[in-house]
């Protein structure tokens, strides 16, 4: 029968869903000249069983014509704001120059992760067997590239006026504390495609994004950073798509085969804990780095994980999935996490590309009010002591390099789940070497895949082995591309502070 005959026969029109299926998964085929196992070599080795890729429910039905149209519209608006921000010196409208340190953390710690996500999704977008999930991953791959690039363009203006932003990629790959986010994402990208999606789409995007992306963007909104918050709004609909993909992939794996349940559960346990440890920088940012605070870390954890995450895992329990292991430890830590971390960075600011400081009195009061059970008892006296020392010209810097956890690569600063006054140490012997961990969560992750984690490039070990430019602080900082006395040290006396005071001197005068 010819096509000409058919067009006169008035056939039934396709519904939207069928039409979309034709435009996406209908494009794929079973290869015969090359075996499917060679075309798609990575879908079996993790042990996940997929019986029918067609059961995949497309989480969002977006064809390329609409994608180009919507995204171009968003880009036009975003770049109009970025241009106007630069033209009008929008950085003068932020609450205080200390805020920019949150931006520094974001550009050096988070933006490179967006880029890694882009490449990771390109990998899965090529290697999943089903065309439906592949297209969803490809769209996320290009979205993540968008986020990396728009963040760079947004923050480009800040780089012109503030320190610590000038070499983000280099710093991400070399600087000690940035090995935490770097190793997190490389852990995911070096895993198989299903674990990657569980790690990033589900644990990171779906479960934890409200605790990572949202606090930075809300912080920007609260602190007068119009450029960054506009980026945040612009990325919101992308993030919503990514979250739906995260939920869909989990349900898809769980529904395809019962044997997948324990594998997925183990990944959820691992990536919850990996993700939670990564969030320590957000905890400190929320409680210490925003001149105008949005909410405390403890409040955010309660709302977004204990309540929001609780409801999600309740929903997943029908598949046999339970709450991630050690979630209760995270809740026990919520009253101390940010304080332990800020104190650590305060100790080591001679080697960070952002400034730290002792909070002002009203800020200490805010912390006392938000953390009534821990702050005054455990942390405030220490900050007040450091303040006293600093006022006497004896600003404390710690010159002993800390021991790192082999898994999360954070210094061993966390305390026992039931005792906030004792540092938590765990260790194990593997092939005659002893490995150290900050927590049971990190130790479990190591024990399951020791061959992976013994490869970890631990910054402190590397410095001591002489692989980081030399044996002195200036040599290492030089290797980090950190500009001594500009990027690092206390905010007080920094070029950032001096210039900010000059720029805003008129404002102070007119206020008087």
**Which residues, numbered 233-292, are part of the site for another protein (CB under 8 A)?**
none
Among 122, 447, 460, 473, binds another protein (CB under 8 A): 122
Which of 23, 447 has the CB closer to another protein? 23
By CB under 8 A, residue 320 contacts another protein: no
**Which residues, numbered 60-99, are part of the site for another protein (CB under 8 A)?**
63-65, 67-69, 71-73, 75-76, 78-79, 87-89, 92
Among 49, 60, 96, 159, binds another protein (CB under 8 A): 159
Which of 115, 345 has the CB closer to another protein? 115
Task: Give min distance, CB of 437 to another protein, in A.
Answer: 16
Distances (CA, A) of 334 to 194, 296, 312, 364: 30, 10, 20, 17
Task: Give min distance, CB of 335 to another protein, in A.
Answer: 31
- Interface pattern 20-39 for another protein (x via CB under 8 A): --xx--xxxx-xxxx---xx
Report which of 342, 348, 345, 397 is spatially closest to residue 375, judged by C-alpha positions.
342
- Percentages helix, strand, coil for the chain (3-state, rounded to 5) are 65, 5, 30
Task: Give min distance, CB of 380 to another protein, in A.
Answer: 36
Task: Give min distance, CB of 3 to another protein, in A.
Answer: 4
Beta bridge partners of 364: none
By CB under 8 A, residue 465 contacts another protein: no
Distance CA 102, CA 99 (A): 6
Task: Give min distance, CB of 46 to another protein, in A.
Answer: 8
Report which of 125, 160, 177 is spatially closest to residue 356, judged by C-alpha positions.
177
By CB under 8 A, residue 168 contacts another protein: yes
Kindly provide the b/e burial profile for residues 372-382, where b requires at least 16 CB atoms within 10 angstroms of the residue's own CB.
Answer: eebbeebbbee
Distances (CA, A) of 53 to 111, 256, 260, 351: 33, 9, 15, 49
Among 49, 138, 332, 479, binds another protein (CB under 8 A): 138
- Interface pattern 175-214 for another protein (x via CB under 8 A): ----x--xx--xx-xxxxx---------------------
Stretch that binds another protein, among 146-154, 213-221, 247-255, 374-382 (CB under 8 A): 146-154
Stretch that binds another protein, among 144-152, 266-274, 283-291, 360-368 (CB under 8 A): 144-152
The dihedral of CA 98, 102, 105, 108: what is its sign? negative
By CB under 8 A, residue 456 contacts another protein: yes
- Interface pattern 479-498 for another protein (x via CB under 8 A): --x-------------x---
What is the number of residues in the chain?
Answer: 512
Report which of 421, 450, 417, 420 is spatially closest to residue 435, judged by C-alpha positions.
450
By CB under 8 A, residue 18 contacts another protein: yes
Question: Token pair of 169, please?
Answer: 């990629």
Distance CA 259, CA 114 (A): 32
The dihedral of CA 37, 39, 41, 47: what is its sign? negative
């Amino acid at each position: 029968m010819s096509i000409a005959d058919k067009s006169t026969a008035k056939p039934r029109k396709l519904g939207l869903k069928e039409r979309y299926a034709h435009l996406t998964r209908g494009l794929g085929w079973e290869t015969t000249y090359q075996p499917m196992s060679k075309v798609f070599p990575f879908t079996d080795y993790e042990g996940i069983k997929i019986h029918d890729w067609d059961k995949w429910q497309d989480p969002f039905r977006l064809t390329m014509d609409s994608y180009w149209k919507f995204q171009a519209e968003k880009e036009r608006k975003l770049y109009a704001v970025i241009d106007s921000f630069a033209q009008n010196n929008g950085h003068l409208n932020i609450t205080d120059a200390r805020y920019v340190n949150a931006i520094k953390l974001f550009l050096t710690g988070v933006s490179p992760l967006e880029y890694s996500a882009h490449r990771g999704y390109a990998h899965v977008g090529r290697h999943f067997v089903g065309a439906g999930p592949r297209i969803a991953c490809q769209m996320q791959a290009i979205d993540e590239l968008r986020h990396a690039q728009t963040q760079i363009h947004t923050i480009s203006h800040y780089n012109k006026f503030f320190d610590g932003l000038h070499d983000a990629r280099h710093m991400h790959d070399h600087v000690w504390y940035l090995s935490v986010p770097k190793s997190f994402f490389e852990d995911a990208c070096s895993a198989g495609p299903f674990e990657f999606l569980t790690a990033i789409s589900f644990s990171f995007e779906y479960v934890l994004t409200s605790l990572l992306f949202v606090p930075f963007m809300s912080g920007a909104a609260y602190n007068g950073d119009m450029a960054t918050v506009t980026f945040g709004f612009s990325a919101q609909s992308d993030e919503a798509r990514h979250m739906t993909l995260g939920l869909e992939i989990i349900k898809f794996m769980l529904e395809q085969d019962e044997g997948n349940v324990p594998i997925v559960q183990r990944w959820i346990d691992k990536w919850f804990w990996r993700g939670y440890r990564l969030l320590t920088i957000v905890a400190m940012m929320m409680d210490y780095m925003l001149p105008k605070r949005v909410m405390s870390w403890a409040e955010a954890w309660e709302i977004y994980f204990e309540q929001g995450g609780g409801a999600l895992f309740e929903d997943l329990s029908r598949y046999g999935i339970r709450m991630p292991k050690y979630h209760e430890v995270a809740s026990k830590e919520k009253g101390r996490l940010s304080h332990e971390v800020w104190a650590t960075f305060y100790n080591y600011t001679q080697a960070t590309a952002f400034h730290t400081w002792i909070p002002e009195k009203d800020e200490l009061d805010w912390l006392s009010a938000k953390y009534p059970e821990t702050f005054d008892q455990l942390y405030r006296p220490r900050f007040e002591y450091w303040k006293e020392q600093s006022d006497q010209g004896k600003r404390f810097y710690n010159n002993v390099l800390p021991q790192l956890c082999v898994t999360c690569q954070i210094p061993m600063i966390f305390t026992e789940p039931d005792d906030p006054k004792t540092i938590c140490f765990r260790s194990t012997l593997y092939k005659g070497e002893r490995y150290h961990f900050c927590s049971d969560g990190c130790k479990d992750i190591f024990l399951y895949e020791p061959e992976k984690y013994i490869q970890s490039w631990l910054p402190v070990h590397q410095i001591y082995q002489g692989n980081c430019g030399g044996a002195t602080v200036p040599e290492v900082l030089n290797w980090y591309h950190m500009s001594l006395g500009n990027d690092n040290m206390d905010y007080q006396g920094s070029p950032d502070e001096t210039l900010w005071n000059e720029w805003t001197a008129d404002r102070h005068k007119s206020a008087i």
